[in-house]
Structure 1
Amino acid sequence: MAAKGLARAMIVITTISAAVMELLDTTIVNVALNQMAGSLGATIEDVAWVVTSYAIANVIIIPMTGFLGDYFGRKTYYLGSILLFGVSSYFCGASHGLWELVFWRFIQGVGGGALLSTSQAILFDAFEPKDRPIASGIFGMGIILGPTLGPALGGYIVEHFTWQDIFFVNIPICIAATILTILYIERKEGEGQKKSQIVIDYPGIFLLTLGIGSLQYVLEKGESDDWFESRTIVILSLSAAVGLVGFVWRELTTEHPVVDLKIFRYKVFGLSTIFTFVAGLGLFTSVFVYPVMVQRINGFTPLETGLSLIAPTMLGVVLFPVIGRRMAAGDSPLPYMAIGILIFVFFGFYSGTATPEMGKWDFFPMQVCRVLGVAMLQMPLINQAVAGLQQREYPAGIALTNMIRQLGGAFGIALANNYVTNAAAQHRSDLMANMTMDNPLFVQRLNGSIANFASKTGDYFGATKMAYAQLEGLVAKQAYYLAYLDTYRVVSLFFVAIFPLLLLLRTKKKTKEEIAAAAKAAADSH
């Protein structure tokens, strides 16, 4: 039954806070890796496991949230996940060694996995069926706020406090969410009372863990481990293939699957997952590339980087509920999705025109395009993905959609890392080809640099070496900048590729009665 007044407001605050906190923790540590490495006496490569372990746990647990909610009862599972997230956050901040921290980050990811899909289901229950698209709009705010706020909040904490506080900041939020969950989130009738009747699909859980865990590791660590030159990557790639193929076979043949993959028989859901994957790729990759690029090339501090992302993101916060109201009024999601894809294509090529001299406000129009694209695409996708599913299939649909979005992000970040490395090497080679004595512009620049250093040191030979070193550094910087700009264009090509698939998602405009009936059927399955 839908909540009213203060109760509904408290449910909205609880679920959105939990969802934002879960997504925020995927990016908040990125700006603190250097501080962690120094404090824990680890290399940057090793400390990257702090990010990887959380992502692996997240992606493993997300598709199982529907099953775990049925087994333990949704409220119990949600409450337990919040508490687990808060306790593990404390131990992350209190860790004295790298692998202790990595272990607790994994546990934090297990707790965080429920905070996305279960928050969405609880939020939907707080609204009348006809208003559920508005709930989608509100939830969409969390999807865009979490990854974007992470670098800003992380940058502020690192600059003014310690890296441990990045984890401790979760604790008061978890305490508040726990209290609000106990007070305002109701149990559904019969919730958690059929535990003895539920058959646990242990082989399915094992194969899912093996397949998704191995795949996530390969995507996260492949570039730094030189891909298939690494024995570990080769072994885990084979494990991912065996685990995923075995998991699909198991879930399609068992009577009690841990994840109901049979929902892929619905064409709309199957096609929607393609859009969700690419949307996740675009969202996470754009948020990943921008901070690295502007800090490495434009000279932004972590805090400046985060602040430059927050202002345009606020536009999305306003836009999501507006689009939700339009969905509630019966608008087809397809025109919004088409506009969102086209905006993302424009954003990629527009961002490819950036220069190293640009300041944080110069990037504002580009970031506005990014936010508009995410808002126009993500929110309608939430409605489109579950359209036509049966009541019992809705939790599996939400969980799989969230997992595929996360996998899209992991794939995009791995793609960006690999592409930047290779493209930078190519750009450097092309630029170095112009550094010859036959090029008058190069000779002029070289002689000017030599004269400048010689006037300060009085050593012509030393000045020549310094001039060449300076020019080589400028070439490397320019090569990386060109590679980052190319990455935006590559991401745009994914959106170009999926645009024709919109023709296969043609749906007639639904009446308010049809929307209410479909939303009620979905809500009954929570």
Structure 2
Amino acid sequence: MDSDNSLVVYGAKRVIITITAVVCALLQIVDMTIVNIALPDMQGSMGASLSEITWVITAYAISNVIVMPMTSWLSQQFGRRNYFSASIILFTICSWLCGNASGITELIVFRFLQGIGGGALLVTAQTIITESYPIEKRATAQTIYVLGVIVGPTLGPPLGGYIVDNFSWPFIFYINIPIGIIATILTLQFVKSPHYAEKRKTRDVDWLGIALLIISVGFLQFILEKGQEEDWFNSALITSSAVISFFAFYFFIWREIVYPYPIVNLRVLRNKELSIGSILSFVLGFGLYGSTFIIPLYTQTIMGWTAFQAGMLMIPSTVFTAIMMPFVGKLMERGFPFGIMISTGMVIFFIYSVMAYKVLTPDTGSDAFFWILVIRGIGLGLLSIPVTTLALSTLKGVQIGEGAAISGMLRQLGGSFGVAIISTYITRDIAKYRNDLASHLAAGSTYTQNRIHMLTHGFQAKGMTPEVARNSALKLLDQLLTGQATIRSYMDVFFWIGMMFLICVPFVLVLVRNSKTKVDISQMLTE
């Protein structure tokens, strides 16, 4: 392949390419979260069960994770510009089909196909942005890309809430159409394809590797999405899926190592920076998607907020992450050690988690969250840009796309693991705390009887009959018990997320202590 400098562009053309790539990455990420808000409306209009409607999310997530590691190979086979534009077109057409679906089966199928297009957008967008900038400006390029990655999960819930409240659920898909059309035109006009080596002949294509990848990653994502619903390994379905996924992964790794034309080039993981950056991407995905998941859940289930209000609460975090990005980008360009920035970001994220742990009560207002979320935004700014840049900092040419595909998949899987583990933990933690609290409220205790008596009199004062008032009092007491148990489980989640980041700090300081942007750049320029 030609030197990757041949792909560098300047001026207005680079601005257009950057905006196009970031918008496409945003489309993919926003579509992962925006649908969550509309699920009740979809379920009602289609007459679907809860388990059926959740497949709208699961199908998209599975196809996303399957396609991500294959994006580099597909770009080489069809040309990056052609593949990227085809992915946008597929994503846009399927958005229209999802909005017009007349049944739940149609919607699930179209969401799966939409995910195939969307899975390519995130990784390919990162590769396009990286290669459009000269080597000494790659920290800036990653800063711009990461802004889209961070904004996406925050933008989805309020945008989805606004659309559902003011229009109808199909419009969460329809808004993708004009953006997709414009992005396709700009991609065909401005994005360049690298001159790859000769495309593989049909007999050389790693068909077995493709099949093993689809089986292993697809079943793993299915387990993460459906594990809690099916009671994990108490379910024969989940257990058999885990066995299939494990062996498929084992033979996939073996195949990719020995086959001369692998679908995913695992050899690129010999690069130290990519290996470390990919592991940290997994951790970052766990913390980012996990904390983004838990705060709206708390505000909606405990505080009774709307999805739009819950989403808007996250805006301070996003704003301060954006404010940090130019500052962090300049530090990296001047050679400030990656390890110091990443470990500092992890410590700040730990502080944010402890503060969130301490502030949660049934009456906590939005004002109490403001500075906590500002700290979260600062921590993410110091974390996300160095991690993303580190992964690709010493790669060249075709390796950039291969590395972006692997680190992108691991960030996505980190988010899936985070949400799955947190969901399971909350469910079981609530049950444990509820039993503990209930043991202190024995039916015959004086405190319990006085509490029921007070509540009953309060309801009677509102005009209820004695029997209805007592039943209402018991129901309210039960709700208060569940609410307290839920809050304590949320507190535990914040504490353990914080501890996860704190435990990672010494490993980061040891493993990333020699990584500096200027050193990496000088090495690349002299090769």
Deviation sequence 1:497-525 (CA, Å, 0-9, x none): 3222113324446474752553897xxxx
Q: Which residue of 1 aligns with 2:41?
A: 35
Q: Which residue of 1 aligns with 2:362?
A: 356
Q: Report the secondary structure of 2:218's partner residue.
A: helix
1:331 is displaced (CA, Å) by 1.6
d(CA) in 2 for partners of 1:513 and 1:236?
45
Q: Which residue of 2 aligns with 1:20?
A: 26
Map residues 228-247 of structure 1 onto 2, 5 A cutoff.
228-247=233-252
Q: Which residue of 2 aligns with 1:252?
A: 257
Matched letter for residue 489 of structure 1: F
Q: Which residue of 2 aligns with 1:216?
A: 221
Matched letter for residue 336 of structure 2: D
Q: Which residue of 1 aligns with 2:433?
A: 427
Alignment of 1:474 onto 2:449: no
Q: Which moved more, 1:60-69 or 1:498-507?
A: 498-507
1:132 is displaced (CA, Å) by 1.0
d(CA) in 1 for partners of 2:525 and 2:367?
42
Map residues 112-261 of structure 1 onto 2, 5 A cutoff.
112-188=118-194, 190-191=195-196, 194-196=199-201, 199-261=204-266
Matched letter for residue 140 of structure 2: I
CA contact (8 A) 2:393 2:520 kept: no
1:496 is displaced (CA, Å) by 2.5
Q: Which residue of 2 aligns with 1:301?
A: 306
Q: Which residue of 2 aligns with 1:103?
A: 109
CA contact (8 A) 1:129 1:520 kept: no
Change (3 A) 1:192 1:269: closer
Alignment of 1:382 onto 2:368: no
Q: Report the secondary structure of 1:153's partner residue.
A: helix
1:444 is displaced (CA, Å) by 3.5
Matched letter for residue 247 of structure 1: F
Alignment of 1:336 onto 2:341: yes
Q: Which residue of 2 aligns with 1:275?
A: 280
1:406 is displaced (CA, Å) by 0.3
Q: Which moved more, 1:315-324 or 1:48-57?
A: 315-324
Matched letter for residue 241 of structure 1: F
d(CA) in 1 for partners of 2:127 and 2:275?
20
Matched letter for residue 404 of structure 1: L
Change (3 A) 1:473 1:331: same
1:489 is displaced (CA, Å) by 1.5
d(CA) in 2 for partners of 1:39 and 1:407?
31
1:194 is displaced (CA, Å) by 3.1
d(CA) in 1 for partners of 2:420 and 2:348?
23
Matched letter for residue 212 of structure 1: V
Map residues 307-322 of structure 1 onto 2, 5 A cutoff.
307-322=312-327
> What stretches of structure 2 of length at least 5 have no aligned partner?
1-5
Alignment of 1:75 onto 2:85: no
Q: Which residue of 2 aligns with 1:417?
A: 423
Q: Report the secondary structure of 1:258's partner residue.
A: coil
Moved over 6 A (4+): none
d(CA) in 2 for partners of 1:459 and 1:518?
81
CA contact (8 A) 1:18 1:177 kept: yes
Q: Report the secondary structure of 2:364's partner residue.
A: coil
CA contact (8 A) 1:138 1:324 kept: no
- 1:288 corresponds to which of 273, 284, 293: 293
Change (3 A) 1:517 1:7: farther
Q: Report the secondary structure of 1:3's partner residue.
A: coil
Q: Which residue of 2 aligns with 1:524?
A: none
CA RMSD for the aligned pairs? Answer: 2.0
d(CA) in 2 for partners of 1:141 and 1:520?
31
Change (3 A) 1:193 1:171: farther
Change (3 A) 1:266 1:122: closer
CA contact (8 A) 2:339 2:515 kept: no
d(CA) in 2 for partners of 1:293 and 1:97?
32
User: TM-score of the superposition, structure 2-length normalised?
Assistant: 0.94
CA contact (8 A) 2:350 2:502 kept: yes
> What stretches of structure 1 of length at least 5 have no aligned partner?
522-526
CA contact (8 A) 2:394 2:521 kept: no
CA contact (8 A) 2:316 2:377 kept: no
Q: Report the secondary structure of 2:418's partner residue.
A: helix
Q: Which moved more, 1:256-265 or 1:163-172?
A: 256-265
- 1:495 corresponds to which of 497, 501, 510: 501
1:316 is displaced (CA, Å) by 1.4
CA contact (8 A) 2:9 2:132 kept: yes
1:173 is displaced (CA, Å) by 0.7
Matched letter for residue 333 of structure 1: F
- 1:445 corresponds to which of 443, 451, 457: 451
Q: Which residue of 1 aligns with 2:61?
A: 55
Q: Which moved more, 1:456-465 or 1:225-234?
A: 456-465
Matched letter for residue 43 of structure 1: S
Deviation sequence 1:175-199 (CA, Å, 0-9, x none): 11011112221233x3586354993
1:371 is displaced (CA, Å) by 1.9
CA contact (8 A) 2:33 2:157 kept: yes
Matched letter for residue 216 of structure 2: G
1:231 is displaced (CA, Å) by 2.1
CA contact (8 A) 2:88 2:184 kept: yes
User: TM-score of the superposition, structure 1-length normalised?
Assistant: 0.94
Q: Which residue of 2 aligns with 1:9?
A: 15
Matched letter for residue 23 of structure 1: I
1:120 is displaced (CA, Å) by 1.0
Q: How many residues align?
A: 520
d(CA) in 2 for partners of 1:153 and 1:306?
8
Q: Which moved more, 1:130-139 or 1:439-448?
A: 439-448
Change (3 A) 1:34 1:501: same
Matched letter for residue 455 of structure 1: A
Matched letter for residue 175 of structure 1: I
Matched letter for residue 348 of structure 1: S
1:319 is displaced (CA, Å) by 1.8
Matched letter for residue 251 of structure 1: E
Alignment of 1:370 onto 2:376: yes
Q: Which residue of 1 aligns with 2:95?
A: 89
d(CA) in 2 for partners of 1:404 and 1:92?
27
CA contact (8 A) 2:333 2:517 kept: no
